[in-house]
């Protein structure tokens, strides 16, 4: 079955060849061929998903030694138009038409600051436990270097009884760290 590149209209004999072509020739693609069909989301809906993202991140920021390391947060039923609205103007934004997948990454301190603006909350990446005096956070910079986080959105499909179900999933892998702060005893 022949497959056509939505970006340059070149024809390929298989989907695999099209994926390879897109990865090589259109690696940094920002063009969304169906952009006109994506409606501008209402502010209430954008705020709802910004809040959902913050809540899910905070839940993953634990306070024990098992919380340290790379974690992944997924938000199922995440609307495509919300993802595009939040990230399409970022320099690292990419779209793969054949995979129907978006990605956007943020690196270091500048990435951390930009994400604070995008989710409209300065403390989205930090959670404190006042009883244990520990802090869990998403790591962007330390003495060893700079870290990055990547967001992606992809469409899932499920077929059953001659019906096709579509669901968008936003994923966010990051490196979580923990700081333990000990209280000094007063004598």
Quick one: 41 and 21 in the same domain?
A: no
Q: Return the structure tokens found at 101.
A: 């997948």
* Cα atoms in the Cβ-side hemisphere of radius 13 Å centred on 76: 4
Q: For residue 146, give its domain range.
A: 32-180
User: Which whole-number Å values give the CA distances from 88 to 10, 72, 93, 128, in the listed order?
Assistant: 25, 22, 6, 32
Residue 125 in any domain: the answer is: yes
pTM of the model: 0.81
Whether 105 has a pLDDT exceeding 50, the answer reads yes
Model pLDDT for residues 125-154, shown as the tens digit of each residue: 888 877 777 777 777 777 777 778 889 999
Residue 187 in any domain: the answer is: no
């Amino acid at each position: 079955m022949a497959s056509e590149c939505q970006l340059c209209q070149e024809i390929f004999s298989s989907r695999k060849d099209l994926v390879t072509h897109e990865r090589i020739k259109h690696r940094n693609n920002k063009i969304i061929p169906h952009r006109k069909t994506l409606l501008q989301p209402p502010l209430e809906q954008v705020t709802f998903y910004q809040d959902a993202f913050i809540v899910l991140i905070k839940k993953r920021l634990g306070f024990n030694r098992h919380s340290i390391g790379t974690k992944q947060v997924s938000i199922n039923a995440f609307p495509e138009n919300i993802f595009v609205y939040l990230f399409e103007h970022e320099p690292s934004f990419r779209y793969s038409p054949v995979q129907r997948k978006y990605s956007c990454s943020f690196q270091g301190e500048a990435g951390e600051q930009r994400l604070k603006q995008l989710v409209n909350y300065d403390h989205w990446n930090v959670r404190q436990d006042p009883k244990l005096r520990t802090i869990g956070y998403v790591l962007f910079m330390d003495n060893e270097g700079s870290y990055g986080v990547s967001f992606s959105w992809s469409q899932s499909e499920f077929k059953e009884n001659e019906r096709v179900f579509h669901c968008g999933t936003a994923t966010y892998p990051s490196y979580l760290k923990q700081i333990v702060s000990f209280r000094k005893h007063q004598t």
